[in-house]
Structure 1
Amino acid sequence: MSLRLLWILWIITRFRLDTLIPLERLPWWLRVVFVLSPLRVFPVGRRSRGERLRLAMEALGPIFVKFGQMLSTRRDLFPEDIADELRRLQDQVPPFPGDAAAALVEEELEMTLTEAFAEFDAQPLASASVAQVHAARLHSGADVVVKIIRPGIERVMRQDMALLYRVARLLQMIPEARRLRPVEVVSDYEATLFDELDLRKEAANTSQLRRNFKDSPLLYVPTIHWPLTHRRVMVQERIRGVPVADIVGLKAQGTDLKRLAERGVEIFFTQVFRDNFFHADMHPGNIFVSHETPGDPQYIAIDCGIVGSLTREDQDYLARNLLAFFHQDYYEVAVLHIESGWVGEGTRANEFASAIRAVCEPILEKPLKDISFGQVLLGLFQTARRFNMEVQPQLVLLQKTLLNIEGLGRQLYPDLDLWSTAKPYIERWMKERAGPRGLWDSLRRQAPELTRQLPELPVLAHQALGRAESDYRLRREQNEAIQTIRKQLGHTARGTRRIRVGLLLLALALAWQPLMTWASGQPWPVLAAAALGVLLLAWH
């Protein structure tokens, strides 16, 4: 652990990441620390600040690379030079050698490359933080890609997660940070991150997403070749399309960018609400656009290693909140937060609603290019601090995906109005969920269980009545026992007082002569206090 921490500090020093911090925004004492820091001994060099940040993240490993991938979708939050460099983290991470990849494939499949493939390209097509992809051809003639986990990556990831846990526990000691539940957030991130190390899970996610969008004009998902898919190796259909971030290429083939951006929003809400199964790693390196029908564009999704889902309660809560935001009903938003337990029951709904209105009102009815969800989330967190609102770990993936969607929308069609695009979909989903169709679907889902329990209903009803009668009889017996105990305690208390009075009188009789001698020499206040004490002792 200490060696890994020293390595991180060395990387920060080597690439002079301190120069990325605007010193004028820091407190004076922290500026002094940076000015006197030994970092100043190392020259900045000729590399740009964006290149130094990218190289540092690559050197630090997969967890930091993934963080950079998330930041790369938020071009509105960074200068152009930094955003361009972070974009290279999406699929241009330095690869590991081709002979190491071939050896790992043969070890995992327990066969030679010539037995598994008709052709295998040792030069990778793309290299990411956790795995890299090679082109190949099956003996059937089908073109495929082979995804291979980086050798030794699990050990490095566990070291980095241990550091993140240590930081999270330190944050847990700060009252303002405690409401963010940092340990739980890191725990959820750990689970999703390590799921990526088992490519069988990614293959299963890919198959599920493909079934959800079978024959859909919105999204195409490649087929998995299961016989050659194992824990560290996955083989799937090779797709050909234009990267979604290649705006020049999309325009060259005549893609309707407005429709493409609107379909991205529709795909997101379809995954979250219709299927309750959403692709949670939608950075531009994982999204392509089909060459076919550019006027009616279709997305292509790969890399389903991280997916998310919500409970039915979370779905309802999210939809009702979104609709309340769309209708600018901030009081309803406040009430939903209080009912869900996200804020304390003692929170006054009107005060919370007023605070939310001050943050959210400026962003509604504006095009996407004029809206920054990053700034909105920052404002909401600042508001939440006043009301002790807690961040829910189960929604962290959803928030991350929504930020990715915003980043894609900004690149494709900045004038997209996210609210008018999403509002009809949410309203339609809520109507289907709460209307006759939703009731019928719920009954249909529960019909097998109801059919099984129906013959048992008379017996269950008789047992319930029996338990109710037994509970009533037990409560009556308990009440009678309590009354008896109270009477006995009363008798005991009165008997105790009689014994105390008798003992006191006996003591007075035995000590009468000395007591009278003592009393004759005392003033009357002392005698009154002594008499009061005797009465209290006798009473208790």
Structure 2
Amino acid sequence: MRISYKNLRRYKEIAHILIKYGFSFIVEKLNIEGVAYKIPLTNPSDTIKMMTTGERIRTAFEELGPTYVKLGQILSTRKDLIDQEIIDELSKLRDNVESFSTELAKEIFIKELGLSVDEVFKEFNLKPIAAASIGQVYEAKLKTGEDVIVKIQRPNIEETIKSDLEIMRTVASTLKDLKKDIDIDLYQVIEEFQTQLIKELDYNFEAINAIKFKKMFKDSKKVYIPEVYSQYTTKRVLVMEKIVGVKLSDIQKINSLGWDTKRISEVGVESMFKQIFEAGFFHADPHPGNIFVLGSECISYIDFGMIGIIDKKTLKLLNEIVLAAIEKNVDRVIYLLMEIDAIGTDADIPGLKQDLLYMIHYYYDAPIEKISITGILNEVFRFFRKYKLIMPSQLAILAKTIITLEGTGRELYPKFSIGSAGENFMKHYYTNKFKPQNLLLNSKNSIEEVLLDLKTIPKQLRVILRNIEKNNLKINIEEVKVTKLEERITDLATQTSLSLVLAAIIVGSSLIIASPNIEQIIWIKLVAMAGFFTSFIIGLLLVIKMIKSKYKKN
């Protein structure tokens, strides 16, 4: 594999770590020019040999640094691609890294805002309260008296991450043939990862997300979103209101304050369903560290770097899949999965149907409070892995978010059930959906979609016809017996020709018979009779031909 020599040192570091943790086969496969032959392919230590595959991957990612920690965190959401044992380990990845110098942080602040820390803040705690892979967080107080948190990005982190992403893309291209063995399109995963990570490198995206959430819950007394101070926010600096409350993970303190943990968990689910079903825009990392409790019926979200988006069409399709499952209509479920391009041409449809039917019957009569959404989704992920189905990334993120939410709810209240907690909200959602004004709006949107299709289809047909005219249309035909196909086409052409001739003779003979001069001129009568006789013979031949063709086909 040819590499960019500006990244040569980083390639060597990656190769050393891969070999150290028992992944030397990847280094050998890459055959990195100028690297592989210089690094001895040693066996891992006994301690590493005792680790599971998931533990070795997680530890290697931690040693590889921030980019790979982030990759591991995102991969931990893709249960449709990776086995549960590895997912469990990747879920342990956290941004616990060494802090960088506060003096350096102040320099970055000045460079970004053109103002010093002392010019903006009345107080500024020199010791960071958290250090993550991309930046670190400080407590401060604005000149106007508001308590805030200040995120400042690490020096040179963008260059490091972009360099790692370039290496990842090169490696993914080189290992593309591994897709046959591991059923993962590495290049597509890296592309999705890059899109997510580039956004996290720009704090303006997080600020915009927080502002959207603030607007979403502006009239809510149950969810509070911190204020963003946009005048002090840039690509590498984020200033946001400090939330004073109890972290959701501190269950002992929540109980000591006498707050109802059951009600708090229900508020969390209701707020999440509002995000998903009403806004199509949701917090994609609702773990206990990212949620503060402000009262028995009030929570606050923080850290808006990772969000999920789901469009109305996908949500509608997902709703139809759930309804089809409730009706035990497995064929409809399969059809809808095909609609989202989840099922490939090589999928084992009969096996998938059987497994789906078993799962539907297993959960169908279970009481809603006994149903574990996590259990159902994990079973769905198993289907996707087993039958090589492709889950759209937005659905994978949504599923992982719901699993995280249910886990968080059960930490808070052991008898928590996301199904029973969401039942009331879903009733409210559907009641609201079927209000006359909303029905009219949905009808309007449906009509607009149809009109758009009517406008688009002729253009698409013109493109297809233009490609046919230019001989640019390529059709991939696999496993077709060309000889038999040619014979079948010939038979169809013959039958069509005979049918046209038969129809023409019958019509012509009928017109002759209807002529008023047929009794006066005998030869006209004879021609008509000959026509009917000929049509009888041709009809007989056509029937024989069709029977023979059917016999050959069988």
How does the TM-score come out when normalised to structure 2? 0.65
1:342 corresponds in structure 2 to 342
The separation in 1 between residues aligned to 2:218 and 2:241, in whole angstroms, is 15
Aligned pairs for 1:101-500 (under 5 A) are 101-169=105-173, 172-174=176-178, 176=180, 181-290=185-294, 292=295, 294=296, 296=297, 298-325=298-325, 328-343=328-343, 352-359=352-359, 361-362=361-362, 365=366, 367=370, 371-372=374-375, 375-385=378-388, 389-423=389-423, 425-426=425-426, 429-430=429-430, 432-433=432-433, 436-442=436-442
Alpha-carbon spacing, 1:215–1:424, altered in 2? closer, same or farther (3 Å): closer
Alpha-carbon spacing, 1:175–1:234, altered in 2? closer, same or farther (3 Å): closer
Deviation of 1:268 after TM superposition, in Å, equals 2.2
Give the match's secondary structure for 1:190. Answer: helix
Q: What letter corresponds to residue 14 of structure 2 in structure 1?
A: I
Q: What letter corresponds to residue 379 of structure 1 in structure 2?
A: R
Q: What letter corresponds to residue 440 of structure 1 in structure 2?
A: L
The separation in 1 between residues aligned to 2:332 and 2:422, in whole angstroms, is 19
Q: Do structure 1's residue 94 and structure 2's residue 92 form an aligned pair? A: no
2:68 corresponds in structure 1 to 64
1:483 corresponds in structure 2 to none
Identity score, percent: 30
User: What per-residue deviation string (whole Å, max 9, x for no partner) do you get for residues 33-84 of structure 1?
Assistant: xxx9734458679x9999998775443222333355569999x9679xx97x
Whether contact under 8 Å (2:73, 2:91) holds in the other structure is yes
Alpha-carbon spacing, 1:444–1:189, altered in 2? closer, same or farther (3 Å): same
1:4 corresponds in structure 2 to 10
The separation in 2 between residues aligned to 1:370 and 1:203, in whole angstroms, is 31
Give the match's secondary structure for 2:387. Answer: helix
Deviation of 1:103 after TM superposition, in Å, equals 1.2
The separation in 1 between residues aligned to 2:278 and 2:429, in whole angstroms, is 8
Q: What letter corresponds to residue 154 of structure 2 in structure 1?
A: R
Higher RCO (C-alpha 8 Å, min separation 6): 1
Deviation of 1:310 after TM superposition, in Å, equals 2.1
Whether contact under 8 Å (2:121, 2:143) holds in the other structure is yes
Give the match's secondary structure for 1:118. Answer: strand
Deviation of 1:182 after TM superposition, in Å, equals 4.0
Whether contact under 8 Å (2:179, 2:186) holds in the other structure is no
Give the match's secondary structure for 1:133. Answer: strand
Alpha-carbon spacing, 1:70–1:277, altered in 2? closer, same or farther (3 Å): same
User: What per-residue deviation string (whole Å, max 9, x for no partner) do you get for residues 193-223 of structure 1?
Assistant: 1111111111111001111011323321100
2:483 corresponds in structure 1 to none
Give the match's secondary structure for 1:160. Answer: helix
User: What per-residue deviation string (whole Å, max 9, x for no partner) do you get for residues 320-347 of structure 1?
Assistant: 2234445554443223213444336898
The separation in 1 between residues aligned to 2:251 and 2:41, in whole angstroms, is 43
Give the match's secondary structure for 1:303. Answer: coil
User: What per-residue deviation string (whole Å, max 9, x for no partner) do you get for residues 363-389 of structure 1?
Assistant: 56373669535742442124433xxx3
The separation in 1 between residues aligned to 2:312 and 2:274, in whole angstroms, is 15
Deviation of 1:118 after TM superposition, in Å, equals 1.1
Calculate the aligned-residue CA RMSD, in Å.
Answer: 4.3
How does the TM-score come out when normalised to structure 1? 0.66
Deviation of 1:309 after TM superposition, in Å, equals 1.6
The separation in 2 between residues aligned to 1:104 and 1:173, in whole angstroms, is 43
Whether contact under 8 Å (1:69, 1:283) holds in the other structure is no
User: What per-residue deviation string (whole Å, max 9, x for no partner) do you get for residues 140-174 of structure 1?
Assistant: 11111111111111122123323433454456435
Runs of at least 5 residues in structure 2 that lack an aligned partner in the other structure: 1-6, 24-39, 450-454, 463-554
Flag the structure with larger Rg. 1
Alpha-carbon spacing, 1:352–1:129, altered in 2? closer, same or farther (3 Å): same
Q: What letter corresponds to residue 145 of structure 2 in structure 1?
A: G
Alpha-carbon spacing, 1:193–1:380, altered in 2? closer, same or farther (3 Å): same
The separation in 1 between residues aligned to 2:259 and 2:374, in whole angstroms, is 24
Give the match's secondary structure for 2:227. Answer: coil
Deviation of 1:319 after TM superposition, in Å, equals 2.0
Whether contact under 8 Å (2:341, 2:390) holds in the other structure is no
Aligned pairs for 1:491-530 (under 5 A) are none
